[in-house]
Amino acid sequence: MLFAVVMSFSLSYQLLQRTIRPSTAVLFCGISSFGAFYEVGAFFVPHSKFQGFSLLQKKSFSSFTMSMQKHRVVTYNVLSSRLAGEDHFTHCKPEDLDARNRLPRIIEKLEKEVRQDSIICLQEVSYDWAGKLATYFQQNDYFFFTGLYGKPFNGYMGVAMAFPNKKYEAQEMKVMRLSDTKKWPRKPEPGLVGKISEWLWSTLRKPYHLLTGARAPPCPWALARGRYNAILLARLRARARGPSGDRGALLVGTYHMPCMFRNPEVMTLHAALAAQHMQFNARGDPYVLAGDFNFTPGSPQYELMTKGALAQGHPEVPPPLPWDDTAWAPRCAPMRSAYAAHLGREPAYTNNAQIKDDAPFIETLDYLFHSPSLKVQGVISLDYLEELKDRPFPIKSEPSDHVMIGAEFQQKTDEEINSEKWAGIH
């Protein structure tokens, strides 16, 4: 038996050193011989990219298996059925604002993605449309779930996600109010002297506020805590098995950032909370966080998401509360944005709206943030938008004030990840 093992090592080494580095040949031949000794079926194809693996290697090559899977993820703010009023979008045709016309046009766009087995993330899904969309997706063998949290004026709108049952099975799904993902220590009750001081200060401020109309600035921490915006997560596993028998997993999340341009500190806090929630739940799996984030590529919030933190003392990072002993800070592991990663730039715009007599608002607000372990194989082209820049949405061809964006992702191999680390990209 020992003679057989030695001969196995020698022959394997002579064969493999012609196709791979000698040191690597020694390693793999050793494993092969060990496998032969214990009757573990190990075999190698004489090529630098091995097509077969021993049972001993099986677990360590899960990333190779995952790299065989491609995942198409799209995100689309559909504009709530209750928010496209003629008195609001005064520069649009009434027929293009009618929910009865808009929904079939939205579904027509979704149909193209359903045919490609895309994972679909939606924002501003109202009660009016949630049931209709659920029916559509069920009829197309998609699983559809929502997190609706809005108010009557916006149709109780929220976020939704749909994925094809034939391609994926869900390992885990979560619906969370994002502000509930953080501990919010209560302000300590003041003593007698403190209560008297607060009462005096409040009493003295009232005449000033009545005369000037001025108000004390709201606390960004309190505003951030009070938001009900929900975040959806789905850990999806491909049904098709790869060469090693492993199927890998992909975590997909979707979020609609509070539209609080007048309180950017709140958006900073929610950007960090969304990223942290995503990364905490990933547990090593690749992930994509998709949605309408209501910030532009030049904003501090975009910088936070893609670089991981903002400078200490940044004006859009609220100072920590004196009584908060959790040591929580608005930071995260840096993520990549799919369009910027693939094209070297973000789209010219993803939102084109003009409200009443306001100036047109034409900006990029929608993103597909993803873990560095994923590579972008392609994106939905938005070049056609240049021709529509002077036409505020919704229009017939664009039934929302946002456009759909999407990308195809593939897991990087260990070799690609390591080469990026050596190059200082990670």
pLDDT digits (tens, 9 = 90+) for 168-221: 999 999 999 999 999 999 887 766 666 667 667 667 667 766 676 666 678 999
Q: What is the pLDDT of residue 286?
A: 97
Handedness of CA 146, 385, 400, 157 (dihedral sign): positive
d(CA 220, CA 265): 6
d(CA 309, CA 379): 27
Print burial letters for 147-180: b (CB count within 10 Å at least 16), e (below 16).
Answer: bbbbeeeebbbbbbbbbbeebbeeeeebbbebbe
Question: Which amino acid belongs to residue 349?
Answer: Y
What is the separation, in whole angstroms, between the first and last Cα of the chain?
Answer: 47
Answer whether 25's CB lies under 8 Å from 17's CB. yes
Residues 104-147 pLDDT 10s: 999 999 999 999 999 999 999 999 999 999 999 999 999 999 99
Q: Specify the residue for token string 């560095």.
A: 372
Residue 412 clears pLDDT 60, i.e. is over it: yes
Q: What is the pLDDT of residue 20?
A: 46
Q: Write down all domains in the chain, each with its CATH number in brackets.
A: 2-56 (no CATH), 65-185+215-423 (3.60.10.10)
- Identify which of 279, 333, 347, 266 has the alpha carbon closest to the alpha carbon of residue 304: 333
Cis check for the bond before 394: say yes or no (omega within 30 of 0).
Answer: yes
Q: Specify the residue for token string 């009865």.
A: 100
Q: What residues contact 28, with CB distance under 8 A and at least 6 apart?
A: 12, 16, 20, 44
Answer whether 127's CB lies under 8 Å from 83's CB. no
CA gyration radius, the chain: 27
Burial of 279 (0-12, 13-18, 19+ CB in 10 A): middle
Residues 292-346 pLDDT 10s: 999 999 999 999 999 999 999 999 999 999 989 898 999 999 999 999 999 999 9
Answer whether 258's CB lies under 8 Å from 270's CB. yes
What's the whole-number average pLDDT of the chain? 85
- The stretches of 213-317 forming alpha helices (DSSP H) are 220-226, 264-282, 300-307
Answer whether 269's CB lies under 8 Å from 222's CB. no
The pTM of the full predicted model, rounded to 2 decimals, is: 0.80
Q: How big is the chain, counted in residues?
A: 426
- Residue 406 forms beta bridges with which residues? 74
- Binned at pLDDT 50, 70 and 90, residue 74 comes out as very high
Residue 63 clears pLDDT 90, i.e. is over it: no
Residue 374 clears pLDDT 60, i.e. is over it: yes
3-class DSSP state of 364: coil
d(CA 373, CA 382): 25
